[in-house]
């Protein structure tokens, strides 16, 4: 069930409950009115975030098709909506600062020939960042944990290979890791402390230096493995939500082939089932109250 559908259904339930109670209450319920006002504001905020996410998805698709004209129009819309105060109420100041820089980088690169790869990357960054603020419980960028894990494995395989240019192969794999890290950076900044992603970047720069030193004989080959272990540890920490108690223990308890992102996706599906059941229960209760109210008032219940 999409977030927009859930928000619309929740608003419908609130209005139905209030309508059902109108014939039973003679005094205005201030708390209920405040609840409705809050729900309306939340629904409006959710709608703006959904629109931002939708436009960012369309921007990414346009970049994928090299449609500069459509991409530029979408980029202008995204830039305008991203300035809204209610939109910026989600995420972090560092995340929105990085978001703005990404928008400007894409706008600067788009009119220039030969820069398709650059503004395609920026479009991907904006897509992931917009998704992170729209779906903070299960954002797409968490799926990059698996991607970075595969990248790290390629670095290891390249370094342990018996080819003559294993150092160059390892550096190429490190470069791919860096590209993927850059792609998720803005989204991660929306939900994590800047120090967490900076730690991963520092470890990545360090392993590149260690590979070069090992190739020139200035350090031992096993130093690369140690540096890679450090990189994996910092990357793993990035994908853990520090606000959730027991997250580290959860990571250790997950099966080898499952990441936190995969586990959260499954949990969200279960949560949506419970929410749907709760909504149906409220609908049933509201209908029963309306029926009882009409019976107590002596109004016959019309059958269809």
Structurally, the chain folds into a number of domains equal to 2
Backbone angles phi, psi at 28, to 5 degrees: -65, 140
pLDDT in tens, 135-190: 999 999 999 999 999 999 999 999 999 888 999 999 999 999 999 999 999 999 99
Contact 231, 203 (CB under 8 A): yes
Share of the chain above pLDDT 70, in %: 66
Residue 145 and residue 131 in one domain: no
Q: Which are the contacts of 72, defined by CB distance < 8 A and separation ≥ 6?
A: 107, 110, 111
Asked whether residue 247 is domain-assigned, the answer is no
Same domain for 114 and 15: yes
Angle between helix axes 260-296 and 3-22 (nearest 10 degrees) is 20
Q: Is the residue at 219 inside a domain?
A: yes
Please indicate, yes or no, whether residues 127 and 162 belong to a single structural domain of this protein: no
pLDDT 10s digits, 252-273:
444 445 544 555 555 455 445 4
Measuring CA to CA, which residue among 14, 19, 13 is closest to residue 37? 14
Residue 244 lies in a domain: no
CA dihedral over 111, 114, 118, 122, signed as positive or negative: positive
Claim to verify: residue 287 and residue 155 sit in the same structural domain: no
Question: Has residue 72 been placed in a domain?
Answer: yes
- The three-class DSSP label of residue 28 is coil
Per the domain annotation, does 260 fall within a domain? no
Q: Are 267 and 247 in contact (CB under 8 A)?
A: no
Average pLDDT over the chain, rounded to whole? 79
Closest listed residue to residue 129, CA positions, set 195, 196, 62, 182: 182
Integer-rounded Cα radius of gyration of the chain: 25
> Are 53 and 32 contained in the same domain?
yes
Coil, helix or strand at residue 205: helix
Between 100 and 35, where is the model more confident?
100
For residues 19 and 128, state if they share a domain.
yes
Q: For 66, left (φ over 0), alpha (ψ -120 to 50), or beta? A: left
Residues 170 and 292 in one domain: no
Which residue among 212, 239, 266 closes a domain?
239
Does some domain include residue 250? no
**Same domain, yes or no: 160 and 108:** no
The 10s digit of each residue's pLDDT in 18-30 is 544 444 444 445 5
Q: Is residue 98 part of a domain?
A: yes
∠ CA 190-191-193, rounded to 5°: 95
The pTM of the full predicted model, rounded to 2 decimals, is: 0.69
Q: Are residues 119 and 144 in the same domain?
A: no
Do residues 131 and 168 share a domain?
A: no
Residues 20 and 128 in one domain: yes
| Percentage of the chain modeled with pLDDT above 90 | 59
Indicate the residue among 217, 239, 261 that finishes a domain.
239
pLDDT of amino acid 219: 87
On whether residue 249 sits in a domain, the answer given is no
What are 97-100's contacts with CB under 8 Å, separation 24+? 98/129, 98/185, 98/186, 98/189, 99/126, 99/129, 99/186, 99/190
Q: Which domain holds residue 304?
A: 1-138+274-304
* CB of 140 closer than 8 Å to CB of 80: no
Average pLDDT over residues 108-117: 90
Rounded average pLDDT over 273-286: 50
**Long-range pairs, 167-173, Cβ under 8 A, ≥24:** 167/211, 167/212, 167/214, 167/215, 170/211, 170/224, 171/208, 171/211, 171/212
pLDDT band at 39, cuts 50/70/90? very low
Q: Is residue 278 located within the same domain as residue 130?
A: yes
């Amino acid at each position: 069930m999409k977030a927009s559908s859930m928000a619309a259904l929740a608003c419908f339930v609130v209005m139905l409950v209030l309508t059902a109670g109108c014939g039973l209450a003679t005094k205005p319920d201030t708390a209920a009115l405040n609840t409705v006002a809050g729900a309306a504001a939340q629904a409006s905020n959710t709608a703006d975030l959904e629109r931002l996410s939708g436009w960012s998805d369309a921007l990414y698709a346009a970049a994928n098709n090299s449609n500069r004209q459509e991409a530029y129009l979408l980029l202008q819309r995204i830039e305008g909506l991203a300035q809204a105060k209610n939109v910026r109420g989600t995420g972090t100041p560092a995340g929105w600062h990085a978001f703005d820089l990404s928008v400007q980088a894409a706008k600067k690169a788009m009119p220039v020939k030969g820069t398709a790869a650059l503004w395609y990357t920026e479009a991907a960054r904006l897509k992931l960042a917009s998704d992170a603020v729209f779906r903070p419980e299960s954002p797409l960028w968490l799926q990059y944990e698996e991607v970075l894990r595969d990248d790290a494995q390629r670095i290891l395989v390249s370094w342990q290979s018996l080819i003559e240019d294993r150092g160059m192969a390892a550096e190429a794999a490190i470069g791919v890791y860096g590209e993927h890290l850059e792609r998720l950076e803005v989204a991660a900044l929306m939900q994590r402390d800047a120090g967490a992603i900076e730690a991963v970047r520092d470890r990545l720069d360090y392993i590149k230096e260690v590979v070069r030193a090992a190739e020139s004989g200035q350090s031992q080959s096993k130093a690369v493995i140690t540096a890679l272990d450090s990189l994996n540890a910092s990357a793993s920490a990035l994908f853990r939500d520090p606000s959730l108690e027991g997250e580290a223990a959860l990571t250790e308890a997950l099966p080898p082939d499952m990441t936190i992102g995969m586990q959260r996706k499954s949990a969200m599906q279960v949560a949506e089932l419970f929410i749907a059941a709760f909504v149906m229960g409220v609908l049933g209760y509201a209908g029963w109250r309306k029926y009882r109210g009409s019976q107590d008032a002596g109004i016959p219940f019309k059958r269809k």
